[in-house]
Amino acid sequence: MGWKTLDDMDLNGKRVLTRVDINVPMENGRVTDATRITRIAPTVADIRAKGGSPVLLAHFGRPKGQVVPDMSLEPLVPALQEAFGCPVTFVERPSRDWIDAQPADAVILVENTRFTPMEEANDPQMAQFLATLGDVFCNDAFSAAHRAHASTTGVAHLLPACAGRLMQAELSALEAALSTPKRPVGAVVGGAKVSTKLDLLTNLVEKIDVLIIGGGMANTFLAAQGAQLGASLQEADLHDTAREIMDKAAAAGCRILLPSDGRVSRAFAAGAPYDTIALNADTRLDDDQMVLDAGDAAVADVAAAIDTLSTLIWNGPLGAFEIAPFDTATVAAAKAAAARTASHGLITVAGGGDTVAALNQAGVADDFTYISTAGGAFLEWMEGKDLPGVAALG
């Protein structure tokens, strides 16, 4: 662990510049899902308990360096106050003199950092200005850690820096899952396209023992082996790449598990009739048939593989989980992983937007060891890439 936490910092009497992710969904000026806000509450509470005053930095939406009133952070103040249990003071253009005039334990929210192009450009002048607003920098926005911005990396080089509680939890979970995992370790990687997860697959096969591939990605691998999958989603231009990944996995001793059967339909629609068909190199579907989900035999294979593991990473669904009955495999496999977590202490770490939605749909999100809401940063960590926002804390 090459980064400091709040436990390593003297915060008494300090203004603690705290980068958070409160980029939450809103409707009619009200927050509709406060998950990201409640997840930063422990950091705010701990800073105040240690005698510090949090000065919150955050972005909202994509204003592209312009002041966009609809993307102001001010409407988030009521939700922040409810989550923190204390007043939150919003400021559009702060100065250190103004901040020092506030109560010693004040929680201050600074306007959207992306209202200037200097933020995303990691402009040294903006980083220097931000550094004047605090005595210590605390990054609690792992979800923005893959961006080298003024408020994530620039200022971290100018002040004593540490990880907040959410960042600490994310990094600890990911290190336990991939850097120093309990073995055997496996991964479920699903979703529509191989092309979006090439780096992830290439990195994983060298680090894990079992790779379970699902969704449209599995179709590409099956087609690369010779299957003719009709109108199924697959990437014909990546067949060579899929074969290279399979060869690399074999050389590294990583077993790749593809679905042995699938739910096949002629219509991509909720409640569409389907047949369950064996999937292998000899499969021949009609031109209008589509593989939309893994079948029961494939789910049994996945469950059996999960039962052999000590650590499981999950990113992406096993089928078109948005529509029934093609959510069956994802839900069943997720329940198998959750049950193994409860009964045998399987370490389960999941992340990515579709993943969180799928696990919530299966009703098992609370049963996994850790679920990351970080999206892009989660993927880049799993791809083995250095995250600027994390590296700056070292």
Tell me how far CA of residue 109 lies from CA of 16, 17, 89, in angstroms: 12, 10, 6
| Per-chain mean pLDDT for the chain | 94
Q: What is the mean pLDDT of residues 256-264?
A: 98
Record the pTM: 0.85
The length of the chain in residues reads 394
Please tell me the distance from the alpha carbon of residue 211 to that of residue 225, in angstroms, as a whole number: 17
* pLDDT band at residue 1 under the 50/70/90 scheme: low
Beta strand spans in the chain (E):
15-19, 26-27, 30-31, 53-57, 88-91, 107-110, 136-139, 161-163, 185-189, 210-213, 255-257, 261-265, 275-278, 290-294, 311-315, 347-351, 370-372
- pLDDT for res 178: 79
Tens digit of each residue's pLDDT (9 = 90 or more) over 21-63: 999 999 988 999 898 999 999 999 999 999 999 999 999 999 9
Delineate the domains of the chain, giving CATH numbers in brackets: 6-165 (3.40.50.1260), 172-382 (3.40.50.1260)
User: Which member of 36, 48, 165, 197 is catalytic?
Assistant: 36
Written as six digits, the tokens of 162 are: 């540490």
Which residue of the set 4, 96, 193, 266 is catalytic?
193
Question: Do 387 and 380 meet the contact criterion of CB atoms below 8 Å apart?
Answer: yes
Residue 287's pLDDT band, with cuts at 50, 70 and 90, is: very high
- 353 catalytic, yes or no? yes
376 is catalytic: yes
Residue 193 known to be catalytic: yes
Strands (E), 228-383: 255-257, 261-265, 275-278, 290-294, 311-315, 347-351, 370-372
Catalytic residue among 207, 376, 384, 385: 376
Cα 316 from Cα 318, distance rounded (Å): 7
Instruction: State yes or no: pLDDT of 168 exceeds 70.
Output: yes
For residue 215, give both structure tokens.
């969704």
